[in-house]
Structure 1
Amino acid sequence: MSKQKIKQLLIGTNNKGKLREIRSLLPNYIKIYSTSNFKLKSPAENGKTFEENSLIKSKHFSKKTGLICLADDSGLEVDHLDKRPGIYSARWGGKSGDFNKAIKKVFRELDKKDKNWKNKKIKARFVCALSISHLNKKITCVVGKVEGRISNEPKGKNGFGYDPIFIPLKKSKTFGEMKPSQKYKMDHRYQAFKKLKRFL
């Protein structure tokens, strides 16, 4: 498969923010389809790791459409919270996936753990597993990470998910405050994409 370049690809996500970012990272010659073209619902993500959940999605969407599928599973790990929310990052937003709710939960959990957390550097990272599958066969699965810390309050309206509370290492702005073009050159999805290059 790696010898033959992929010409068309289904991006296996119903998250518009992820779709936008993945689209921007893919080479122009690839014809891109999204799950909304086929009105596909996401499968139950019952894996124990980002990699397992990513593969569940890429295989599921590929089998539904017959197309090669690229899927992402990603989330935020906060060291102070024993690496939670981790693979449950989206679920912390409740049924509607409301990330304002999810961000409040991160702050609530930090408060429970340590009332003084705002005066400390709370280490965290974004993790992204990207997999490519064709029908039931895994072509590849890679992981990218970006280290950083948690902001004391949400800042910035750009990005999506937990971006407003994540400050990458050696930066003073959250992902939510950065222009997408800046964020897309350093985040966890970009790190994972670099490892996928030979397949695309």
Structure 2
Amino acid sequence: MLKKKISKILIGTNNKGKLKEIKGLLPKSIKIFSTSDFKLKSPAENGKTFKENSIIKSKYFSKKSNLVCIADDSGLEIDCLNKKPGIFSARWAGSKGDFSKAIKRVYRELSKKDKDWKAKRIKARFVCALSICYLDKTIASVVGKIDGYISNKIRGKNGFGYDPIFIPKKKKQTFGEMKLSSKYKIDHRSIAFKKIKKFL
């Protein structure tokens, strides 16, 4: 842990949706910087887990900016697809981050696995690893998860990424249909954030 309270922090992501959500979770007393303030590109994510990748990003952006950095690595795991797309969730969207392409691929893979999948409850979860690093030092690294199911059609325009096809357990709406304020209270990122906020 750092000896003194964190007064400024860099959010280590080039994903606008993640940036907005993490910004909303951070204490108001902390001065927030984004990667665009330093014109930073993302590093190669060659870790084998969400946690490893979030630490890679956090250390990389911290060294580049000389600031404490919080970085997230998150994605969707679908049980019947051997937990794919998993850590490759963003990569399924291609270099342009086209998640309509990624969602089509999810549906394609599910149809290959089971042509009647739409009539079934396809178990899935969103996973978020959050890490806070300062230069080479990892201050904290946690994981948050939310279980749910895959919707058999795209629903809602809110959120980002795979939100329009993920229905959290005990809910009827996809993340894409929920108000952002409702989603932010229950999603994998807020679950991870509750675990990490004592380090801020």
TM-score, normalised relative to structure 1? 0.99
Match of 1:185, SS state, is helix
**Structure 1 stretches of 5 or more lacking a match?**
none
Task: Give the distance between the partners of 1:198 and 1:3, measured in 2 at CA.
Answer: 13
**Structure 2 stretches of 5 or more lacking a match?**
none
> Any idea what the Cα deviations from partners look like across 1:6-53, whole Å, max 9, x if unmatched?
110000000000000000001100000000000000000000000000
Q: How does 1:1-200 map to 2 (within 5 A)?
A: 1=1, 4-200=4-200
Equivalent AA in structure 1 for residue 57 of structure 2: K
Match of 2:185, SS state, is coil
Percent sequence identity is 72
Equivalent AA in structure 2 for residue 190 of structure 1: S
**In the alignment, is the contact (CA less than 8 A) between 1:129 and 1:143 conserved in 2?**
yes
Task: Give the distance between the partners of 1:119 and 1:178, measured in 2 at CA.
Answer: 23
Equivalent AA in structure 2 for residue 90 of structure 1: A
Task: Give the distance between the partners of 2:193 and 2:62, measured in 1 at CA.
Answer: 19
Task: Give the distance between the partners of 1:140 and 1:4, measured in 2 at CA.
Answer: 15
**In the alignment, is the contact (CA less than 8 A) between 1:122 and 1:149 conserved in 2?**
yes
Task: Give the distance between the partners of 2:10 and 2:95, measured in 1 at CA.
Answer: 25
Moved over 6 A (4+): none
Equivalent AA in structure 2 for residue 68 of structure 1: V
> Any idea what the Cα deviations from partners look like across 1:69-114, whole Å, max 9, x if unmatched?
0000000000010100000000001121110000000000000000
Task: Give the distance between the partners of 1:7 and 1:85, measured in 2 at CA.
Answer: 36
Superposed CA RMSD in Å reads: 0.7
| Cα distance, 1:126 vs structure 2 | 0.2
| Cα distance, 1:197 vs structure 2 | 1.6
| Cα distance, 1:2 vs structure 2 | 5.3
| Cα distance, 1:4 vs structure 2 | 2.8
Match of 2:51, SS state, is helix
| Cα distance, 1:62 vs structure 2 | 0.3
